[in-house]
């Protein structure tokens, strides 16, 4: 199957964008009080805090939503391929999800406690049982999953409103460990606190299900196709996503961080649709063509770049590495993000000049053929 260039570019933006959120967690050594729901200092309190707020307003949750939606679009491509080739669905896709679960577990243990791959793996197993059903059934499942998610997030937001000014406990222990602890001590800490750190991965499964299924439906409607119909659909999606998403995301500016969770998990995915349309429009108009090619190369090596960017951020900020984490300026964090982005572009560009697949993608291809069937190897890009 011929690769869809737009999907690779969108995937590249999504990978870089998720780092734009996660790098604050690395920089502040895991202290979520300084990253999300910061009641310690209002966003207008200083230029440093203002820059952080603007950056999170642009990236927080938006590109994670894009990555989630693209997983669903990718699943639909695999579903279509299985149908064309006469294979039973979900078949080998369950094996791919099992590999992703293992990959996410290793990434959680050895690299980062807020890994999203395990959640995607579980979601993939669930959605693979839904995606081959009728459109009506899919829409019903989306309605159920979306309702559960909105009710849950709204309830948590209401509780935060009643406890305005409260902060998360236990952050001092985490920051001290990441400031002076060894890499192995951090590994043990993640294992000992597995349930605590994996709670978010379970909580976002309803949202993941909704976005996976939305991505699959958008693929079916031809939204990603390179024709006039696809361009018209993307334009309408861009207008709707920006019109609804921008005002919803401005709720982040409410003092005390009361709406931060609501914005990250409800407002952000709406604006994701607008971002998707903007990026597609830039590609169609030939804007920043070389830059878009670099993002497309990252998208082809998405899994490798996702893992690598978190490793580089760990080395830069944690005590066992260069140890610059703690309370660096927002400008330094922003420049660090841009520096890692540049390194990822160079890495993916020169790697793909010599090899057709990224290193993790190559391993994935080697192991993604189910032990039960050697005939059903499929495209393994996320």
| Per-residue model confidence as pLDDT tens digits over 294-335 | 999 999 999 999 999 999 999 999 999 999 999 899 999 999
pLDDT of residue 131: 95
CA distance 243 to 11: 23
DSSP state of 32: G
Domain count, the chain: 1
pLDDT of residue 167: 63
Q: Is 81 contained in some domain?
A: yes
pLDDT tens digit string along 84-93?
888 899 988 9
DSSP state of 265: I
Sign of the C-alpha dihedral, residues 298, 301, 305, 308? negative
Determine the distance from the C-alpha atom of residue 60 to the mean position of all C-alpha atoms in its chain, rounded to a whole number. Answer: 10
Q: Is 377 contained in some domain?
A: no
165 pLDDT band, cuts 50/70/90, is: low
CA distance 106 to 90: 25
The residue among 355, 288, 365 whose CA lies nearest residue 9 is: 288
Q: Is 378 contained in some domain?
A: no
110 pLDDT band, cuts 50/70/90, is: very high
CA distance 151 to 45: 32
Provide DSSP, 334-364.
HHHHHHHHHHHHHHHHHHHHH-SS-HHHHHH
CA distance 136 to 103: 33
166 pLDDT band, cuts 50/70/90, is: low
- Which token pair is 225? 């196709």
Q: What does the mean pLDDT of the chain come to?
A: 91
Omega before residue 90 within 30° of 0, cis? yes
Q: Is 380 contained in some domain?
A: no
- Give helix then strand counts, H and E, for the chain: 17, 0
Say which residue, 83 or 206, is predicted with more confidence.
206
- Count of residues making up the chain: 382
Parent domain of 138: 5-367
Provide DSSP, 164-200.
TT---TTHHHHHHHHHH--HHHHHHHHHHTHHHHHHH
Residue with the two structure tokens 């203002």: 50
Determine the distance from the C-alpha atom of residue 248 to the mean position of all C-alpha atoms in its chain, rounded to a whole number. Answer: 20
């Amino acid at each position: 199957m011929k690769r869809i260039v737009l999907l690779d570019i969108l995937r590249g933006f999504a990978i870089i964008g998720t780092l734009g959120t996660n790098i604050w967690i690395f920089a502040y050594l895991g202290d979520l009080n300084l990253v999300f729901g910061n009641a310690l200092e209002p966003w207008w309190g200083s230029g440093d805090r203002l820059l952080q707020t603007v950056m999170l307003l642009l990236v927080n949750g938006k590109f994670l939503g894009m990555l989630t939606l693209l997983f669903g679009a990718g699943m639909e491509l695999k579903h279509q391929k299985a149908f064309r080739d006469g294979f039973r669905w979900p078949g080998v896709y369950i094996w791919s999800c099992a590999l992703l679960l293992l990959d996410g577990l290793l990434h959680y243990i050895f690299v980062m406690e807020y890994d999203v791959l395990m959640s995607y793996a579980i979601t993939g197993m669930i959605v693979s049982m839904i995606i081959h059903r009728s459109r009506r059934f899919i829409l019903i499942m989306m309605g159920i999953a979306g309702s559960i998610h909105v009710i849950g997030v709204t309830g948590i937001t209401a509780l935060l409103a009643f406890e305005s000014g409260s902060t998360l406990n236990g952050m001092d222990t985490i920051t001290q460990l990441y400031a002076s602890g060894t890499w192995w001590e951090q590994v043990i800490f993640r294992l000992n606190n597995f349930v605590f750190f994996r709670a978010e991965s379970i909580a976002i499964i309803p949202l993941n299900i909704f976005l996976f299924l939305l991505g699959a439906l958008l693929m079916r409607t031809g939204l990603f196709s390179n024709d006039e119909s696809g361009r018209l659909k993307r334009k309408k999606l861009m207008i709707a996503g920006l019109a609804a998403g921008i005002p919803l995301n401005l709720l982040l500016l409410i003092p005390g961080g009361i709406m931060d969770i609501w914005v990250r998990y409800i407002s952000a995915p709406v604006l994701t649709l607008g971002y998707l349309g903007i990026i597609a429009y830039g590609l169609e108009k030939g804007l920043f063509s070389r830059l878009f090619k670099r993002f497309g190369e990252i998208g082809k090596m998405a899994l490798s770049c996702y893992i690598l960017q978190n490793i580089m951020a760990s080395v830069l900020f944690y005590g066992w590495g260069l140890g610059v984490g703690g309370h660096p300026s927002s400008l330094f964090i922003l420049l660090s993000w841009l520096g890692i982005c540049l390194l990822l572009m160079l890495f993916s560009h020169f790697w793909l000049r010599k090899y057709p697949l990224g290193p993790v993608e190559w391993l994935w291809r080697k192991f993604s053929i189910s032990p039960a069937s050697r005939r059903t190897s499929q495209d393994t890009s996320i």
